[in-house]
Structures are given as structure tokens and as C-alpha cells.
Amino acid sequence: MRTLLRWVRGVDRLNDVIGRGVSWLSLIVVLIVFAVVILRYGFSMGWIWLQESYLWLHAVLFMTAAGYTLRHDGHVRVDIFYRPAGVRYKAFVNLFGALFLLLPLMAMLWWVCTPYVIDSWSRWETSREFGGLGGLFALKSILLVYTTLMSLQGMSMIGRSILVLRGTPEFTHGDDNSGP
């Protein structure tokens, strides 16, 4: 159980560091959008690469912070029964949800996206827009980062659920906003 506990803490720490790090992209996105609006409507100027940059940054932010959001139970749930339930019930729901929904979906996404990303890298794909950003292949690689971080957090959720069901004191109080 100590190994499982270290695994859960390590994955949680990884997604916390990544989530907090990429959260700063939201400020950059806002500043770029502000600049695009001012340039377009104030000075009748605009560049495709600047418009693409905030879309790409938003994609990176959304995809890489998804594991962080899952770690902090921030994804949308139909929680009529889940939210008021006890810690053990939540652990069962999280265990089965991660095992039978999250991990199979992430495996399928990985399987479907890998050839797509490899093809993009083989062509050094860039934006289709004239004056757009280069390196679209790197952006598409974020799909694999997303599936990896979500899968790791799903495995951490499974581990955390097992620890709760085994009665590990660190995880059985349930009101720390860090899991089941």
C-alpha cells in the first residue's frame, strides 16, 4: 500500500505542477485577445498568426490542465447522488468510472490520435492559413499529452479509491477537495 500511496501522491503532484503552470496561459490568452481586438477595431490591423496564437494557447491550456481539473474534482458531474454521498460511495463510483469509462476512452483516443499526430509530424504540418503559425504538428501532439495526463490521473483516482476502501486515514475524511 505504501507504493500505491506514493504513486497517487506522485501523479497528483505532477498534475498539480502542470495545471498550475499552464494556468498562466489564461492570462496570456486574455492579453492576446485584447491586443487582437484593439488592433482590429482600433487600428484596422490584424495578423493571422496572432489570432491563431490565442486559439492554440487555449487548446494547450485546456488539454494539459484537464488532469489537474480531474484531480480536483472539477469536471462536470450529475451529482444528485454523488455530492452528498459518503467517502466510500464516492470511492466506488470513482473506481468504476475510471476503470470502465475514463481509461477505456483515453486508450481509444490514444489509439485514434497517434497516427494523426505521427502523420502531422512526418509532414512538419503548419497552419493552412497564409501567414499562420508553423508547428501545427506540435499542437496536435498535445492530444497525446492530454490522454497521458488524464490516464495517469485516472490511475491515481483508482489508487486513491482503493486506499479509501482499504481505510487509509489520509484519504477517508473526504472533505479535502483532493479526491473521492
pLDDT over 70 percentage in the chain: 94
- Residue with the larger pLDDT of the pair 36 and 177: 36
Number of CB atoms found within 10 A of residue 25's CB: 19
Average of per-residue pLDDT across 73-100: 86
What is the distance between the alpha carbons of residues 28 and 41, in angstroms, rounded to a whole number?
20
Q: What is the 3-state secondary structure (H, E, C) of 9-55?
A: HHHHHHHHHHHHHHCHHHHHHHHHHHHHHHHHHHHCCCCHHHHHHHH
Q: What pLDDT is attached to residue 179?
A: 45
86 versus 152: which is more confidently predicted?
152
Indicate the pLDDT class of residue 177, thresholds 50, 70 and 90.
Answer: very low
What distances in angstroms separate CA 138 from CA 31, 56, 80, 123, one per listed residue? Answer: 23, 10, 40, 12
Q: Which range has the top average pLDDT, 33-42, 74-83, 86-95?
A: 33-42
Given this model, what pLDDT does residue 118 score? 98
| Cβ-Cβ contacts under 8 Å for 115 (sequence gap 6 or more) | none
Q: What is the pTM of this model?
A: 0.88
CA-CA-CA-CA torsion sign (56, 58, 61, 66): negative
> How much of the chain exceeds pLDDT 90, in percent?
81
Please say if the pLDDT value at position 23 is more than 50. Answer: yes
Quick one: pLDDT at residue 140? 96
Mean pLDDT value across the chain: 91
The cell for 133 is 503559425
C-alpha to C-alpha distance for 111 and 11, rounded to whole angstroms? 22
Report DSSP state, residue 98.
I
180 pLDDT band (50/70/90 cuts)?
A: very low
